[in-house]
Structure 1
Amino acid sequence: MRGARPIADKAEGTGGGRNWRPLLPAVLAVAVLAGLSYGGLWLWQRTPVQELSRVDALEHVRVKGPFNAVTQRQIEEILLPYLQEGFFSADIRGMREALLENSWITSASVNRRWPRGVEVEVQEAQPLAVWGKDKLLVASGELLPRPAQMNTGRLPELAGDEELVERIMSQYQALAGLLTTRDMEVKRLSFDDLAGWHLELISGVELRLGHDELLERVNRFLQLSRSVLAPHLEKVASVDTRYGNAVAVQWKNDKE
């Protein structure tokens, strides 16, 4: 009609609202992603564990430890049955318990490492002394089988009845605190019901100590080694301290 003006479109007007058409694809994309996520979670929760294991199979296993008494290969063999499972279904507690069945492993930690790994760390018992030909005495007082690969060259040797292991260990620790100089360190300590205590030092000197007053008799020898015997220690083969206020010395030449 003459003089009439066309009505402006609300979407194109400056004050009648906003144009949402450019945002529509983004809104649809978010909705699709949300639906896929929910559907994936629903499917994951209903998938059998065996099927999940195929998807999230363990691919990386990292083992840390001192590897003195046990080897990395031994640890891997212990864990092998558990590594057949997947990342989420792996029996972490079972792995730890299996590792602790090894008498040399004192503690073990097993943790998942995303996305497909497991990290294992073990601690070993600390050997204190050699016991016989096939055992080692550890700091806890136990006798454990001697690992073939372990280097025990610097460990002292203890010997005696296994029922007396705690007593022999206690006497060794007391002597180790008393004999601190290099030539006076304990090389071998043994106990016999008939002969009593027998001590061999790093220097090669042997001490017959009897059954009683072990530390007092060792102290008596140390005092003599710093005075009367000091110039002659290299010639001493053995010392018998089983006397009230004296010692008997055997010289290397006499022994030969």
Structure 2
Amino acid sequence: MWDNHKALNSFASFLFGAALLMSLVAGGYWIAHSSYFPVRKIRIDGALKHVTPEQLRLVAESELKGTFFTLNLDATREAFEKLPWVRRAVVRRQWPDQLEIVIDEHRAVARWGESGLLSSQGEWFDAASSEALPMVEGPAGSEKDLVRALADAGRLLAPASLRVVGLKLSERRAWDVMLSNGVQLRLGHDDVEGRMARFVAVWQQELVKLPYRIEYVDLRYPNGFAVRMPDYKPGNVLPRKPAA
């Protein structure tokens, strides 16, 4: 072999290439782990209403570990998503020393029973809020149905200047709605939107004019409805309210 100049040249070229590759790997490792490439700046984007700068600072100080090159983006994203109001976080590197974090907050539309909140995306999340939100209840997995029902009810009740303060879906898929004026609507599980539209029409034409407190309106009848008025006594009709 030592007399074979072609083989010697090939072997020397191989050794040179291997040495060069090892040097590049070692250099790359040094650059990636070098303290000369720290994350010096963090940029936070997003319409933040509930997540505070203090919360973000604490996460950054406790969870951001490594250099610009070695920082684990998935672990960083998960750390920010642990904050109660954060729905999603996107983390990106910006050369040469900046980390960009985009925060997408939950938008709460209701309270889920006695624990947690329901977002506009139909997602339950564990956070506190001082907002006046409707209370909703339903079987596990009905979150998106409840959010859709809230939106539909708000649209249908708007002409009567009423809003939903409580919404319940039973295990048998029957709907009950509590209104801002204290009236409960029993809607059942069939033609819910049609029944609510019928209530709005009758409310504006007749029920709002009655001089009695209405406890509930049962709309589960095919051709009518029942009204519960605790103050009403047969044969003792109270005078109508004077017209405004």
Which bracket does the TM-score occupy, shorter chain normalised? 0.5 to 0.7
Q: Name the counterpart of 1:183.
A: 161
Other structure's SS at 2:142 match: helix
Distance 2:66 2:87 in 1: 24
Q: Name the counterpart of 1:105.
A: 87
Distance 1:172 1:204 in 2: 17
Kindly provide the CA deviation profile for residues 30-52 of structure 1, in whole angstroms up to 9, marking residues without a partner as x.
xxxxxxxxxxxx9x947835873
Are residue 96 (structure 1) and residue 77 (structure 2) matched?
yes
CA 1:206–1:59: 2 relative to 1, 3 Å: same
Are residue 152 (structure 1) and residue 131 (structure 2) matched?
yes
Matches of residues 238-249 of structure 1 in structure 2 within 5 Å?
Answer: 238-249=216-227
Matches of residues 59-208 of structure 1 in structure 2 within 5 Å?
Answer: 59-81=40-62, 83-92=64-73, 94-100=75-81, 104-112=86-94, 116-145=97-126, 147-148=127-128, 150-153=129-132, 155-181=133-159, 183-193=161-171, 196-208=174-186
Q: Name the counterpart of 1:227.
A: 205
Contact 1:113/1:119 (8 A) holds in 2: no
Kindly provide the CA deviation profile for residues 194-224 of structure 1, in whole angstroms up to 9, marking residues without a partner as x.
7932111122221122232222221221111
Q: Percent identity?
A: 24
Distance 1:194 1:97 in 2: 37
Distance 2:222 2:29 in 1: 83
Distance 2:224 2:87 in 1: 48
Contact 1:128/1:137 (8 A) holds in 2: yes
Q: Where do 5+ consecutive residues of structure 2 fail to align?
A: 1-23, 233-244
Other structure's SS at 1:130 match: strand
Distance 1:194 1:45 in 2: 66
Distance 1:137 1:232 in 2: 36
RMSD, matched Cα: 3.6
CA 1:88–1:109: 2 relative to 1, 3 Å: closer
Q: Name the counterpart of 1:215.
A: 193
Other structure's SS at 2:151 match: helix
Kindly provide the CA deviation profile for residues 111-152 of structure 1, in whole angstroms up to 9, marking residues without a partner as x.
4365x543423112332321112122223322221x13x333
Other structure's SS at 1:190 match: strand
TM-score by length of 1: 0.64
| Higher Rg | 1
1:239 Cα deviation after fit: 1.5
Kindly provide the CA deviation profile for residues 37-82 of structure 1, in whole angstroms up to 9, marking residues without a partner as x.
xxxxx9x9478358731x4444443434444454433333433355
Other structure's SS at 1:180 match: helix
